[in-house]
A = this chain, B = another copy of it.
Amino acid sequence: MTSKAQSRESEMDNVVKQSRSNALGIVHKPSMRTSSSSSLDRWLVNKMLMAVGAPPISVVLWDGTELTNTQAPVSVLTINDRQALIALLMDPEYNFGDLYSVGRVDVQGNFTEFLETVYLAIQKCASKSSWHRLMAWRHHPRTNSLRGSRGNVTHHYDLSNDFYKRWLDSEAMQYTCAYFPRRDMTLEQAQIAKLHHVCRKLQLKPGDTVVEAGCGWGGLARFMAKHYGVKVRAFNISHEQVVFARSKALEQGLADQVEYVEDDYRNIQGQYDVFVSVGMLEHVGAPHFRSLGDVIARTLKDDGRGLIHSIGRNSPGLMNSWIEKRIFPGAYPPSLREMMDIFEPHDLSVLDVENLRLHYSKTLEHWLQRFEDCSAEIRVQFDEAFVRAWRLYLAGSIAAFNTGELQLFQVVFNRALSNDIPWSRSHLYQ
């Protein structure tokens, strides 16, 4: 073993020891001190690389052996024990996440670039069709029934408000795609621009009544009330978020205009001028889109307008299985075709669809930078595996939006019989 490889191994051992019982619940069998790599191991590495479309990377094994299929590897993947190699070969998409989190595999070079390189290779490789379908079947997302949704949402959004405050924008605490009409905007400016963009698309007028499904920490609801003079009822099943949102509304003197309801979107009652949902649909699940459509059809006034903002895909497919398991239980980013299950049964007219995927990539770059800037504090609050898992989640999401694996759709709609439609979209750009 080379001394370089020895020092890498002891570093990783530290991570592994720290993370034996970790915040994300990754059950981790400690790596055995494995023998030198054999020709069989090298054959397995080759098989693994072929299974993900032979990305131009190099692989360094636990004994320092370096393998590559390219002259100029984009980055270096280190695999620190034989069991990790076998796990990667079995199910790279899922197992990479856990192995990376506990430090049994690592990446040298730009992490996001490494992930983009692998995503591109997977997209281009023909094996995706059969092998990936098998994996997708194994990793079916968790259900979003009334009870299931609560558990799924608690897993992610109730982590702790302090955690999210560290790296989300300080103004509106938006945990959804920002809008950068100018690329050099700060995250704070871009989130405010997003809120205005949504409000303009909805043609808000003072006195309008708005219902919001899935309101996060309530930033959009308060923004609408304050800047557009509307009354908002905002629904959310995350207890931590609702408590935070209510106290903010009180603090800002908006409590008579904004009501936060700790309940599921399926229980929305009443009639409203506007229906809005930003970043909830990803957590609804395609089998429940018709129920969501029923809620909209029941609650939207005849001349009402609506907007749904969601991560999506070009064609139906599952969320990255590791993210669905460790980060976002129940998450499912739909294709536009699937989203039509909301609108078609109720003769709702789709007026405008905007794809903002590169804006989400830029948003995530800001988040990742802020996350790294305070990773020491986050490591203290949780542990090293948590930090590594979230780094992977954020960087992996950048890669997914940059490579077209994920899209971001903003869909504006109204009822077929209403001609209360903006004559053009120029009012969004004034």
Which A residues are within 8 Å of any B CB, using their own CB? Answer: 120, 123, 179-181, 183, 314-316, 335-337, 340, 343-345, 347-355, 357-358, 402-405, 407, 409, 415-419, 421, 423-426, 428-429
Contact = CB atoms under 8 A, between A and B. Distances in A.
Contact of A355 (B179, B337, B349, B417): B349
A236 to B, nearest CB: 29
- State the copy count for this chain: 2
Contacts of A183: 423
Nearest to A350: B336
B340 A416 contact: no
Contacts of A181: 423-424, 426
* 5 A-B pairs with least C-beta separation: A404-B416, A353-B353, A337-B340, A315-B344, A426-B429
A305 to B, nearest CB: 13
Given A181-B424, A340-B336, A426-B181, A350 B347 contact: no
Contact of A417 (B336, B404, B409, B424): B404
A349 B417 contact: no
Contacts of A429: 424-426, 428-429
Given A315-B347, A345-B315, A404-B417, A354 B352 contact: yes
Given A335-B344, A337-B344, A417-B404, A180 B423 contact: yes
B423 A358 contact: yes
Nearest to A179: B424
A123 B351 CA distance: 19
A191 to B, nearest CB: 15
A5 B77 CA distance: 90
Contacts of A355: 349-352, 421
A196 to B, nearest CB: 13
A357 B407 CA distance: 26
Contacts of A180: 423
A316 B348 CA distance: 13
Tell which of A335, A415, A418 has the most Cβ of chain B within 10 Å: A335
A418 B357 CA distance: 12
A335 B429 CA distance: 28
A198 to B, nearest CB: 14
A349 B353 contact: no
A343 B358 contact: no
B314 A120 contact: no
Given A181-B423, A314-B343, 13 more contacts: A123-B347, A181-B426, A315-B344, A315-B345, A337-B337, A350-B353, A350-B407, A350-B409, A352-B353, A354-B425, A358-B423, A426-B429, A429-B429
Contacts of A179: 424
Contact of A404 (B123, B349, B357): B349
Given A181-B424, A337-B340, A426-B429, A349 B419 contact: no
A335 B415 CA distance: 15
A349 B416 CA distance: 26
Given A417-B120, A417-B404, A349 B314 contact: yes
